[in-house]
Amino acid sequence: MKVLLDVNVLADLFLKREEWLTDAVAIWEANRTGRIQCCALASNIDTLAYLVTRNRAEDALAERDAVRVCLEALEILAVTGDILRDAVERGGPDFQDDILISAAVAHAVDVIVTRDGPGFARSPVDVHDPRVFVRVIAR
């Protein structure tokens, strides 16, 4: 199963956001063991790097370490002009969510995992909250 992780799920993991960390770790572990294949948008990796830098300024290496870990563990999906054009045409309430949806379609993703469910109401790709998705992959 090919799973596209939204940047909020990656941030939960790398910033150790206590409220959501258990679910993010479970998903990461399922990817590590090959039960699922996780991917992320290239454009979300730089956003993650920014968030890590902003939240862990005392650790100058944290930003690049987070990027390295993502490059080793995830399939990184390109965001092309065609994907951006498709996202513009979707006309949803959040352009970033539309980019994720368009990329998921273009890269034949099975599931999007995000904590921003309402932004994906019109997604043709299945969307799960991390907590729900952990139960799905535990079956």
Task: State how many domains the chain has.
Answer: 1
Q: According to the model, what pLDDT value does residue 73 have?
A: 97
pLDDT digit string, tens, across residues 89-114? 998 999 999 999 999 999 999 999 99
Residue 126 has pLDDT above 60, yes or no: yes
Which two structure tokens, joined as six digits, stand for 81?
A: 């002009």
Q: Which CATH number is 79's domain given? A: 3.40.50.1010
pLDDT digit string, tens, across residues 26-82? 999 999 999 999 999 999 999 999 999 888 656 656 888 999 999 999 999 999 999
Q: According to the model, what pLDDT value does residue 59 have?
A: 61
Long-range contacts of 27-30 (CB under 8 A, 24+ apart): 27/3, 27/113, 27/130, 27/133, 27/134, 27/137, 28/73, 30/137
Output DSSP code: residue 120. G
pTM, rounded to two decimals: 0.94
Higher pLDDT, 136 or 53: 136
Among residues of the chain, what percentage have pLDDT more than 90? 86
Note down the domain range covering 37.
Answer: 2-138
Q: According to the model, what pLDDT value does residue 27 have?
A: 98
